[in-house]
Chains A and B, each alone.
Chain A
Amino acid sequence: MIKGQRSLLAACVAGVMAVSGGVSAAENTEFKVGGVVALSGAYGVIGEAMQKGAELAVEMRGGKVLGVPVVFQWEDSETKPQAAVQKATRLMAGGVNMLFGAVSSGSTLAMMKITERQKVPLLVTLSASDSITGEAMTRYTFRTSNPVNMENQMMAEFAARDGLKKIYGVVADYGVGRDMWDNLKAKLEALNVEVVAEDYPPLGNKDYSIIIDKVLKSDADGVAMIMTGGDAITFLKQSGQVGLKDQKAVFGTMVMDELMGKAVGNMSYGVNSTLRYHYSIDNPNNNAFVKAFQEKYGDYPNQFAGEAFDGMMWFLDVVDSTGSWNPDDWVDAFETSTYDKSVEGTKIMRKCDHQAAQMGIFGKAVKGQDPKPAVTMEVTHRFDADLLFPPCK
């Protein structure tokens, strides 16, 4: 029996080799994009949207960059840094020209270090942690989507412009949540909006009724929500059932859009949220994108698809403009790039932190008329980029 185990070992190890033995082609016959996004689990719906947006960007430029076809290799990050790093390593070993992703900031931060070592550009169109374009910034990572600080500035501006005087903060109790809230509080106070109370329910909380009751009884006229995905849904469903949004202005970062509307249902109407992107933005670039997206997928693009499309289109435009196969040339060009064909108007890459400066929008959930979804966002505020991004140091 013991010898049996020995021969089995050989078989298993041979299996490892068969499975992962990749070959890397050196000739530039295709441009390989490695996508590492969540394709399963709770964030899978986001990864799928990013996949659609990025693939459409390539399709709309004739499927080519630098005169060769663009090929996507998608990997499931499982929303775990371990998986994200593993998949990114495998993709880079297979010779991808760039990486795209990830969904959660943890996975993105984890990938940034290994992409820097391998000198493979990483395009971020979702993860919002400030440190991605802050202290953890690397030469090879660029973010074309909103950072946390920008989202916060929009929330503060929203509160001030809508005449809110007193704010109640409901903040999911995890590191980033608290940091965001401290940052937002300072911004609110700078705009003379008072913070009357705050609560830190645990991450993944199942019941908010007591906190909702406290909010209702307070003299606040607005409720700032800092919570992600499932927690935001739980809070909105439960607070809607006691009419919170009818008595106070409910707003937050990424707490409502058409996708969340499907989860929250009737309790969505009247909820305000930052939007990374919205299909109703009226400019020729966006109109062309929305039309193509509808033709291809039969639906409006959501925020994740829109941001992915925009970032991918921009990056590939820059690659094309260099006419080079050297990633360092792309990085140099991208650092100083201004993209005036963005679906959000114009985006300017900042050399100092690799963060794209851009305008921001705020929306409110309203009843949509067919063919729009039952919960549709109506853009209510626009904020200029210079209001949202502090100048480079």
Chain B
Amino acid sequence: MIGTILIGLSVAMLLFLLAAGLTLIFGMLGVINFAHGALYMLGAFVAFEVYNQTQSFWAALLFAPILIALLGAAIEFVLLRPLYDRDHVEQILMTFGLILILEEAVRLIWGLGYRDLPLPVGFDGSIPIMGSDVAVYRIFLLATGVAVGAGLFFLIERTRLGMVLRAAMNHPAMVRALGIRVDRVRTLVFALGAALAALAGAVAAPVLPVQVGMGFTIIVDCFVVVILGGLGNIRGAIAAAIFLGLLQAFGQHFFPAWIEVVTYTTLILVLLIRPQGLFSLSARRKA
């Protein structure tokens, strides 16, 4: 049982990492970034390439988010900035176009074949915990998820920068009047969201397939986490990811063929009964 819970939590952290960037960007910018999956894919490929050059998993884990953050900043600056004052649906068309462009870019650079990022040295075994063999890399995933979650929470809730972020998103005119460059804050947020997508891609690469199209398969999972947690709510996303991770873990134990039905039914019920998300404690972001 403890083994199941532990595995469930590691699944949860992977889900959280995948969804964190999406919910951050939605919460702060109001943009539903369909290209999140494509950035995730690009992160995995960049991680693969860095590993190929340096033979170091850790270098890959460091550089993939940095490079994709730069790309994210550029995307925000050039493509999204003109759209904030326009109809939201135009953002959908834009991010959809981005998916196609990024997919094509990956194909041009790396081709259509599969890639693999090997496990870092020392992380390739498994340890028995309460009668179950748990892969060491799982524990690492768990730790990474916790660290990222805590880091984001601290950044947004406890730092001056976070305060500016929140203020800039809720009352842009006011913040602008205080002399803060709101557009720079937006660029920063998008870059951070992109970096999270890339980090997810890099840490997922040793456990999930790395190939063109890999982004399409995760975007719906991301949405499930984001919706359950409440749109744009980081804390909610963590809670939702844990809920979903455990649901999937116990589901695989007792009713593997019904996981999807249970997941979507839960999702629909949540949307109808608590559209603000299952785990939103405060109504702060409702506005």
Contacts and interface: CB of A to CB of B under 8 A. Distances in A.
- The answer to whether A and B touch in the complex, with CB atoms under 8 Å apart, is yes
Interface of A: 40-42, 44-45, 48, 173, 199-202, 204-211, 213-214, 216-217, 229-230, 233-234, 237-238, 241-243, 259-260, 262-266
Given A210-B249, A213-B3, A237 B126 contact: no
B56 interface: no
Nearest to B132: A213
Given A230-B214, A238-B207, A211 B252 contact: yes
Given A44-B112, A209-B138, A263 B249 contact: no
Interface stretch (B28-36, B165-173, B254-262, B269-277): B254-262
B210 interface: yes
B7 A213 contact: yes
Given A42-B212, A44-B107, A205-B259, 14 more contacts: A40-B112, A42-B213, A199-B252, A201-B252, A206-B15, A206-B208, A209-B10, A213-B3, A237-B116, A241-B119, A242-B126, A242-B134, A263-B210, A265-B118
Interface in B208-229: 208-214, 217-218, 221
25 contacts: A44-B107, A44-B212, A45-B211, A201-B252, A201-B256, A202-B257, A206-B14, A206-B218, A206-B221, A207-B252, A209-B7, A209-B138, A209-B249, A210-B253, A213-B132, A214-B252, A214-B253, A233-B208, A237-B116, A238-B135, A241-B126, A242-B133, A243-B133, A262-B116, A266-B118
Nearest to A375: B116
Contacts of B253: 210, 214
B207 A234 contact: yes
A262 B14 contact: no
A313 to B, nearest CB: 25
Interface residues of B, number: 50
Contacts of A41: 103, 212-213
B209 A263 contact: yes
Contacts of A48: 112
Given A199-B256, A214-B253, A260-B114, A209 B206 contact: no
Contacts of B40: none
Given A213-B133, A241-B207, A202 B218 contact: no
Interface in B4-23: 4, 7-8, 10-11, 14-15
B11 A242 contact: no
Nearest to B249: A210
A265 B114 CA distance: 10
A263 B211 contact: yes
Residue in B113, B125, B214, B218 whose Cβ sees the most chain A Cβ within 10 Å: B113
Contacts of B90: none
B95 interface: no
B218 to A, nearest CB: 7
Given A173-B256, A216-B133, A265 B138 contact: no
Contact of B11 (A199, A207, A214, A233): A207
Contacts of B210: 263
Contacts of A42: 211-214
A233 B118 CA distance: 13
B92 to A, nearest CB: 21
Contacts of A202: 256-257, 259-260
Contacts of A259: 113-114
Contacts of A265: 116-118
B11 A209 contact: yes
B124 interface: yes
B248 interface: yes
A45 B132 CA distance: 37
A233 B124 CA distance: 17
A304 B122 CA distance: 36
Contacts of A45: 111-114, 211
A233 B7 contact: no
A210 B132 CA distance: 9
B137 A233 contact: no
Residue in A201, A204, A207, A260 whose Cβ sees the most chain B Cβ within 10 Å: A207
A210 B131 CA distance: 13
Interface string B92-129: 00000000000100010001111111110000111000
B135 A233 contact: no
Nearest to B220: A204
Contacts of B117: 265
Contacts of B257: 173, 200, 202
A70 B112 CA distance: 27
Given A234-B207, A234-B208, A237-B206, A206 B11 contact: yes
A122 B169 CA distance: 58
A226 to B, nearest CB: 14
Contacts of B214: 42, 230
A230 B115 contact: no
A262 B207 contact: no
Contacts of B206: 237, 241
Interface in B224-252: 248-249, 252
B201 to A, nearest CB: 13
B18 to A, nearest CB: 9
Nearest to A265: B116
B212 A241 contact: no
A62 to B, nearest CB: 30
B116 A263 contact: yes
B217 A230 contact: yes
Contacts of B249: 207, 209-210
A312 B126 CA distance: 47
A233 B260 contact: no
Contacts of B119: 241, 266
B256 A237 contact: no
